[in-house]
Amino acid sequence: MTDSFRRVCVVGGHNSGKTLLLERLVALWAERGMRVVVLKHDGHADLSPGTDDWEKPNGDTVRLRHAGAAVTAVAGGGQSLLRLTEDLDVQNVDDFARRTVNVARSAGNVVDLVAAEGWKHSEWPKLVVVRNDEEVEWLSSQNLLDVRAVYAAKPVRKVAAFARQVYHGADIERLAADVLAWT
């Protein structure tokens, strides 16, 4: 893909801390004047189309917007919010990112980075979030492409075998800078 924007996927198991980590990263990038688009994949909506709760007051996209994301979008179950009632390309993060960035740019927004939560099987560079050894084992079995680093808020024993670079809770500033260097 030849689009002119940086990209990274933040992936991990359910409730592993992906959104919390993205909130922290987006806040740092926004403080530095970066315009970040955040895409979120809702795997639960894929399992039960039409049952999303994307517009709840403290939902993930609302939290990410408050953290400083210039644009947020969520997709799953054949729909997306930029609320399209039919959006059959949402499984492909490249297409979804391209369309979302085009909408943002057509409205006059600058886009410096697209951070996607989910799409673990995409070809985008990955930052994997884990809480425990079981999640490391499960993610190891997923054959993820282009894993650049693992983030664990607290130390996890098996994480060093999974990735070259490991970050912990206090490493957030270094992680934010390193993600920009990968993309």
pLDDT tens by residue, 63-106: 898 899 888 888 888 878 775 556 666 678 898 899 899 988 98
> For residue 141, is it within any domain?
no
| 16 in a structural domain | yes
pTM for this one? 0.84
Q: Tell me the pLDDT of the chain averaged across its residues.
A: 86
Q: Which residue has the higher pLDDT, 91 or 172?
A: 172
Q: Note whether residue 155 is domain-resident.
A: no
In a domain, 103, yes or no: yes
Give yes or no for residue 46 having a pLDDT over 80. no
Is residue 122 in a domain?
yes
Q: Is the pLDDT of residue 128 over 50?
A: yes
Count of structural domains within the chain: 1
Is the pLDDT assigned to residue 10 strictly greater than 50?
yes
Residue range of the domain that includes 94? 6-129
Q: Average pLDDT, stretch 144-167?
A: 84
Indicate left, alpha or beta for 151 from its phi (over 0: left) and psi (-120 to 50: alpha).
Answer: beta
Q: Which two tokens stand for residue 100?
A: 């979302």
What is the average per-residue pLDDT within 109-138? 91
CA dist 145 and 153 (Å) reads 22
Instruction: Let me know if residue 149 belongs to a domain.
Output: no
Confidence of residue 1 (pLDDT cuts 50, 70, 90): very low
Query: Do 37 and 115 touch, CB atoms closer than 8 A?
Result: yes
- Per the domain annotation, does 158 fall within a domain? no
In a domain, 10, yes or no: yes
- Share above pLDDT 90 across residues of the chain, in percent, rounded to a whole number: 39
Mean pLDDT of 96-123: 90
- By DSSP bridging, strand 36-41 and strand 71-76 are parallel
β-bridge mates for residue 105, sequence order: none
For the residues 46-74, what does the mean pLDDT come to?
81
